[in-house]
Structure 1
Amino acid sequence: MSQSKRIAILMLGGARRVSLAEHLIADGRRMGYEVEIFSYELNAEVPIASVGKIVIGRRWKDADVVDHLVQTIREHRIDIVLPFVDGAISIASECKRQLPEVFIPVSPEEIAVAMYDKALAAEMFAQAGIAIPTTYNTEQCSFPAIAKPRFGSASKGITVLENESQLLELSCPEDYLIQEYIRHREEYTVDCYVSQAGEPLYIVPRLRIDVVGGEVAQTRTCRIEQLIESSRDIIKAIPFRGPITIQFIRDLDNDRYLLMEINPRLGGGVVCSMHAGAPLSEYLFKESKGIGVEECKDWKDNLFITRYFKEVVFHGK
């Protein structure tokens, strides 16, 4: 196989991203590339093994994780690195600094660190003039409120506070972001891809219809201009790069959209946007080879997907 036609992709924590990997492989084939999938995991028996090779790696907090990743990238001649879990984003940013010849489409490390800390992120959003839910502290708090672990993900540990006594029951309030609770709401994800020059290439809002364990199970694309323009303003205000996932909430009582959080990585539901026409694979492959890309605005509105579980079988030796 010609080296120019081979594209090796290393997923960081891509254990369950089988559908996305299949899209990358199929899209690569249509573009004349042979895509190889690798995934950096703690366990070999994960679903992504059905379509790629598993590299047993380190934990994200291990002191030698960057050195081991750099070694892995060189050993397997990796062309593209994609983080899929929050803890891997700043690690990928450091690898990007050390390996400029490898395409690692992630935001600067200081942005990754800020987005990982919900309280720090909320402060950054407010300073940038982005509308977010009212943020409280233990001295000044209106109810109902919602307490989110500063470093949590997948909706784990979130608590709705109905009164002051529940607020006082929080063991370490400083470990939470406390904001107004919007009881009557809709939640939206906006899948975006930001070029290495800082230009938004696609912006696709999706209604989150059903979520299981923090993972979207049903979602529908929605061409809502207010969300598209708000996302564009966010990208102008904060120097994101590569794929990012913006989470908005719609306050139905007051008809307003508020920013909840931004994950500077691919989300699991991005496959919906890909089915709708967002050319993620094309952007990754072309940017990795220094080929120019154009903005995509003609994705399909009102495209619905529903997801299901499928088993991967490992036969013991």
Structure 2
Amino acid sequence: MPDNQLNILFLGGAKRVSLAERLISAGKSLGKEVKIFSYELDKYVPIAGVGEVIIGLKWKDEQIYTHLTEIVNQYQIHIILPFVDPATLTASVLKEKLPNVFIPVSSIETCDIFFDKAKANQWFLGENFPVPHQDLSKFPLIAKPIKGSASQGIEKIENEAELTQFLASHQAEDYLIQGFIEGDEYTVDCYVDIEGEIMSIVPRKRLETISGEVSKSITEKDDLLIEFSAQILKKANFLGAITIQFLKDSTDAYIMEINPRLGGGVITSIEAGADIPLMILKDYLNIKNTKVTNWTNNLLMMRANREFFIQT
């Protein structure tokens, strides 16, 4: 392997083609040749168009850490990046097992809290961060699986009859039930470097989503959300890319969840000037990052389908 080659392993990065391309470009700017590998259950996924797919195990498989260690050694992996919630927890454990591999994720304890919406909500309350109410007599309500993602399994409850029906047909302990907030959805893309310093905070409004993932968003220099996010980042053992989700109504902002990983729409913030792929590579290479505050406001991102062709 050439001395200037960097091998990056995605965990569940099947569709993260744009991010892979940004990492490759960032590597070139540093004189490095980035090779992308992705740990997947299916070899026919879009990331195969820019990298190599490695067939892996399910995140709950008891052999997952042994297998990933073998993969790291076989492919001489330098950096590991998770892209789905269970992979983030896996990466945090792997970080303890593979100290010679750069895995920029938060601590096991932090990832465990934010992988579970009920635990996360208790953490928010303990830190006095505003969250939607949990008064089951005030409708409408929204029920979210405590370990769900991509808006799967979410149900809106309009009245007492619907609540009674929901509780009769679901395990209540598997859901976080909160007041439904009518407002704008915001995602804030953040990066905390290896020294624990906040390098970037970029809010973006979610204008359109498909299957829980943003398809249209716009950056917005919202001072309230920037300050709110900075306060949150100082309260836990965060590292690397952090994605914070808020709801804003006409008067208030509520924190909804934190994903201690790269978000699906982070490419918006990257294009706006918060070059998180470059920050990741600089952290690995022990090159001091520069805090980014002058990113482009009102930058609109719109997604379209893109085809990849692979000879099978």
Q: Same fold (TM over 0.5)?
A: yes
SS at match of 1:169: helix
- Partner secondary structure for residue 115 of structure 1: helix
* Match in the other structure for 2:227: 229
SS of 2:234's equivalent in the other structure is: helix
More deviation, 140-149/48-57: 140-149
Q: Letter of the 1:141 partner, please give it.
A: S
Residues 245-264 of structure 1, C-alpha deviation per residue, up to 9 Å, x if partnerless?
A: 00000013xx1111000011
TM-score normalised according to structure 1 size: 0.95
Measured on the aligned residues, the alpha-carbon RMSD in Å equals 1.1
Report 1:235-314 matches (<5 A): 235-252=233-250, 255-314=251-310
Name the amino acid aligned to 2:48: A
For 1:230 and 1:293, locate their aligned partners in 2 and report how far apart those are by CA, in whole Å: 23
Whole-Å Cα distance in 1 between the matches of residues 120 and 29 of structure 2? 39
For residue 307 of structure 2, give the secondary structure of its aligned residue in structure 1: coil
Which residue in 1 is equivalent to 2:10?
11
Matches within 5 A, 1:47-62: 47-62=46-61
Q: Report the counterpart of residue 156 of structure 2 in structure 1.
A: 160
d(CA) in 1 for partners of 2:156 and 2:263?
25
Shift of 1:127: 0.3
Could you tell me how far 1:168 is from its partner in structure 2? 1.6
1:123 aligns with 2:122: yes
Counterpart secondary structure, 1:58: coil
Contact 2:26–2:281, Cα closer than 8 Å, also in 1: no
CA contact (8 A) 2:49 2:310 kept: no
Q: Distance in 1 between matches of 2:165 and 2:291?
A: 49
Q: Which whole-Å deviations, capped at 9, do the CAs of 1:10-67 have from their partners, x for residues lacking one?
A: 0000000001111111121122110000000011000000000011110000000011
Measured after TM superposition, the shift of residue 290 of structure 1 is: 1.9
Amino acid across the alignment from 2:19: L
2 CA distance for matches of 1:93 and 1:116? 12
Report the 3-state secondary structure (helix = DSSP H, G, I; strand = E; otherwise coil) of the residue aligned with 2:203. Answer: strand
Q: Which residue number corresponds to residue 195 of structure 1? A: 193
Unaligned runs of 5+ in 2: none
User: Which amino acid in 1 is paired with 2:71?
Assistant: T
> Shift in Å at residue 173 of structure 1?
1.5
Correspondence 1:86-235 to 2 at 5 A: 86-136=85-135, 140-170=136-166, 171-183=170-182, 185-235=183-233
What do the CA deviations read for 1:245-287 (whole angstroms, capped 9, x no partner)?
Answer: 00000013xx111100001110111111111010212211111
CA shift for structure 1 position 234: 0.1
TM-score, length-scaled by structure 2: 0.96
Measured in 1, the distance between the counterparts of 2:204 and 2:152 equals 22
Supply the distance in 1 between the matched residues of 2:163 and 2:118 (Cα, whole angstroms): 17
Bigger shift: residues 206-215 or 164-173: 164-173
2:89 touches 2:115 (CA, 8 Å); kept in 1?
Answer: no
The percentage of aligned residue pairs carrying the same residue is 46
- Distance in 1 of aligned mates of 2:24 and 2:134: 43
Identify which range, 304-313 or 224-233, moves more after superposition. 304-313
Offset of 1:133 from its aligned partner?
A: 1.0
The count of aligned residue pairs is 309
Q: AA paired with 2:66?
A: D
In the alignment, the residues of structure 2 paired with residue 135 and residue 202 of structure 1 have an alpha-carbon distance, to the nearest angstrom, of 32
**What code does the residue aligned with 1:173 have?**
A
Shift of 1:293: 1.5
Cα displacement (A) at 1:2: 3.7
- Supply the distance in 2 between the matched residues of 1:20 and 1:289 (Cα, whole angstroms): 19
**Structure 1 residue 20 and structure 2 residue 16: aligned?**
no
Moved more, 289-298 or 260-269: 289-298
Contact 2:9–2:81 (Cα < 8 Å) also in 1: yes
Q: Which residue of 2 aligns with 1:32?
A: 31
The CA deviation string for residues 169-192 of structure 1, in whole angstroms up to 9 with x for no partner, is: 222122110111112x10000000
CA distance in 2, matches of 1:125, 1:199: 21
Q: Aligned partners of 1:209, 1:135: CA distance in 2, in Å? A: 27
